[in-house]
Amino acid sequence: MHYDLLNNLIVGTEAWDGIKQHVLAEDRTVLTLTAAPRFFGLIQEEGIKGLNILDYVTKREYVKDQYRFFNDVPVPTWAKVEMNQDGSILIVDNGDVIAREYLFPNTRRAVQDIRYNNPDGTLDYIEEYAFDGTLYSNLFYADNVLQEIVFYNSNGQAVVRYFFYDGVINFVTIEDPKTHKVIKDYANLNEYFSDQLAEMLTEDDTVTFQYMGIEMSALKDTKSHNVLEVVESVLDDSGVVRGNLALILEGKIPYVAEVKVDAEQYEALRLAGMPLDRVSMKA
């Protein structure tokens, strides 16, 4: 299979429009790293095939044309969902506003998340829903600071947890959804992404990526044929070949087998005296 690896699917941008052309022309499947409750809706809107790494881990299966209406959400006993004239949606319990509800944009009032507050007004937790209306995640806070995110499968069972320290993810776990026994744990997101991509991708897969950040580092343990499709200047502001690109061309990042460039980029690399055995021209 041919994947196009992105950290996040951000539509409506010039960068995405360019990538999308290649995705459609070469029948690629967009593979994303960042957890995204709206992912299923986006790939339907864009008319592309897609897979999010979190959905792979949780084995989540989406239901097409299904969504959860704004007043069809689980709330505490006796609490009510109220929509105001200004469009805001409140969860009210005995006259007190305990939460606010937010909707996916451009939908028929499909619920996106519910944000519950403590009595002092600080965030308690956020309940996120996937685009098909199933429970996606819970985000837990203390003193308005995010502490933990729990991600669920389609059956509402916890599978993946992100733990935070000083605003940074410093521990990731994968658990058995039935026994809740931890199966795997990681010190950070990079380790988690690398391990899961190494498990998922095979020697028969091709992975194209455009950015030499987390997308590239996540591929370090894979056996797939990995291709950098250069979408920016091959030179930095000082006129020198970009560091990671130079390392790829010199064979020091061996898990990237090929670099695709246009004619102008090729000439710049040739003039810079870079090895060109891994370089090919874009179609």
The residues that bridge with 150 in the sheet, in sequence order, are: 138, 161
Q: How confident is the prediction for the chain on average, in pLDDT? A: 95
User: Do 183 and 85 belong together in one domain?
Assistant: yes
Distance separating alpha carbons of residues 125 and 142, to the nearest angstrom: 9
Question: Is residue 3 classed as helix, strand or coil in its secondary structure?
Answer: strand
User: Do 271 and 175 belong together in one domain?
Assistant: no
> Does 243 map to a domain?
yes
User: Do 47 and 85 belong together in one domain?
Assistant: no
Q: So what's the pLDDT on residue 42?
A: 95
User: Do 40 and 140 belong together in one domain?
Assistant: no
Q: So what's the pLDDT on residue 127?
A: 97
User: Do 106 and 181 belong together in one domain?
Assistant: yes
- Does residue 283 have a pLDDT over 80? no
> Does 236 map to a domain?
yes
Distance separating alpha carbons of residues 6 and 220, to the nearest angstrom: 15
> Does 178 map to a domain?
yes
User: Do 103 and 241 belong together in one domain?
Assistant: no
- Does residue 152 have a pLDDT over 90? yes
Q: Which among 188, 218, 251 is the end of a domain?
A: 188
**Top-confidence residue, 84 or 171:** 171
Distance separating alpha carbons of residues 245 and 212, to the nearest angstrom: 8
Q: So what's the pLDDT on residue 275?
A: 96
In sequence order, the 6+-apart residues with CB closer than 8 A to the CB of 105 are none
Total structural domains within the chain: 2
Q: Which among 131, 165, 188 is the end of a domain?
A: 188
> Does 199 map to a domain?
yes
pLDDT, tens only, 62-100: 999 899 999 999 898 899 999 988 889 999 999 999 999
Q: So what's the pLDDT on residue 181?
A: 98
- Does residue 108 have a pLDDT over 90? no
pLDDT, tens only, 192-242: 999 999 999 999 999 999 999 999 999 999 999 999 999 999 999 999 999
- Does residue 282 have a pLDDT over 90? no
Q: How many residues does the chain have?
A: 283
Q: So what's the pLDDT on residue 85?
A: 85
User: Do 173 and 84 belong together in one domain?
Assistant: yes
User: Do 225 and 259 belong together in one domain?
Assistant: yes
- Does residue 106 have a pLDDT over 90? no
User: Do 169 and 205 belong together in one domain?
Assistant: no
Q: So what's the pLDDT on residue 231?
A: 92
User: Do 159 and 258 belong together in one domain?
Assistant: no
Average pLDDT in the 131-156 region? Answer: 97
What CATH number has the domain bearing residue 109?
A: 3.90.930.1
User: Do 180 and 206 belong together in one domain?
Assistant: no
Range of the domain at 276: 2-62+191-281
Q: Which among 188, 220, 253 is the end of a domain?
A: 188
User: Do 50 and 89 belong together in one domain?
Assistant: no
Average pLDDT in the 118-139 region? Answer: 96
Q: So what's the pLDDT on residue 87?
A: 84
Q: So what's the pLDDT on residue 65?
A: 87
Q: So what's the pLDDT on residue 86?
A: 86
Lowest mean pLDDT segment, chosen from 40-49, 100-109, 135-144, 257-266 = 100-109
In sequence order, the 6+-apart residues with CB closer than 8 A to the CB of 21 are none
Structure pTM? 0.93
The residues that bridge with 145 in the sheet, in sequence order, are: 142
